[in-house]
Amino acid sequence: MEHKNTLQTIRHKSAMAVPSLFTIGNLACGFFSILSSINGNFYRAGWLILLAMCLDGVDGRVARMLKAESEFGVEMDSLADLISFCAAPAFLVYFLALQYYPVTGAAIAFIYLLCGALRLAKFNTMALDGTGSKKHFSGLPTPAAAGILAAFAVSYMIFMEVGVKGQNLPFFNKALPHIYNGIAFVVLALALLMVSKIPYAAFKSRGDFGKNSVLFILFAAILVYLTLRFPQNIIFIVFSVYVLVGLVAVIVRAFKNIK
């Protein structure tokens, strides 16, 4: 009996270690993204953040699948997110563009980092209190904000053709210089949205993706095709639409309440 309990304990600890490997991978991507930004390799820095997003999306699902969820895992995941989705994007956007804004550039990058940290602290607190929702996030999730900045950086480097390979959607090349010129406002807007109370869909249940399976499959097929051809552009567009949908929903609800 004692031997059986020992084996069960070993198996449980082994199962708990699996999702942690994805979390460590997330953290590593954030760390090396920061180093890449400091060295001026913004293309690599952006892709590392996007890779961190993929790993972050896997660790929680693996933990639930293996029944290996733990408070340690939650805290570790949050700390990794702080590096990959708060610090790494702040360094990326600073060295890419904000460093050319005297004084204010560093302040804007820090505000983004601060708001990201506050967003994560708020999420953890709501999770512990049991006040969080499984259907919606309160405020823009840090991976979504980081995804926009990382995808923009990759797209911009392809546009500038600084020793990288890839292609952008034709209309994207026309928009990129304007986005670059207004990047300070984009960063501040994302920072404020992270600490806002605007609800954003969590997409944790299948019902969130619509009831018409045929249309969904068609849409998914088109999205996959475009993502394979122009991954950085589609990621930027998808997360930008995600941001705008949340804002529009709030405006619509406010308008209805006034009436």
pLDDT in tens, 143-201: 999 999 999 999 999 999 866 777 898 889 999 999 999 999 999 999 999 999 998 98
The tokens for 245 are 């949908």
CATH number at 22 reads: 1.20.120.1760
Taking all residues of the chain, what is their mean pLDDT, rounded to a whole number?
A: 84
Using an 8 Å Cβ cutoff, are 168 and 155 in contact?
A: yes
Parent domain of 198: 2-258
Confidence of residue 108 (pLDDT cuts 50, 70, 90): very high
**Residue 145: per-residue pLDDT:** 96
Q: Is 151 exposed, middle or buried (0-12, 13-18, 19+ CB in 10 A)?
A: buried
**Closest to 136 measured CA to CA, from 203, 205, 191:** 203
The mean-pLDDT minimum among 28-42, 61-75, 156-170 falls in 61-75
Using an 8 Å Cβ cutoff, are 18 and 76 in contact?
A: no
**Does residue 126 carry a pLDDT above 90?**
no
Confidence of residue 60 (pLDDT cuts 50, 70, 90): low
Q: How many CB atoms lie within 10 A of CB 115?
A: 25
Confidence of residue 219 (pLDDT cuts 50, 70, 90): confident
Which residues lie closer than 8 Å to 26 by C-beta, 6 or more apart?
52, 55, 56, 59, 77, 80, 81, 84
The mean-pLDDT minimum among 57-61, 69-73, 102-106, 116-120 falls in 69-73
Q: How many domains does the chain have?
A: 1
Q: Mapped to the 3 state alphabet, what secondary structure does 67-110 carry? A: CCCCHHHHHHHHHHHHHHHHHHHHHHHHHHCHHHCCCHHHHHHH
pTM of the model: 0.86
The mean-pLDDT minimum among 7-21, 38-52, 131-145, 210-224 falls in 7-21
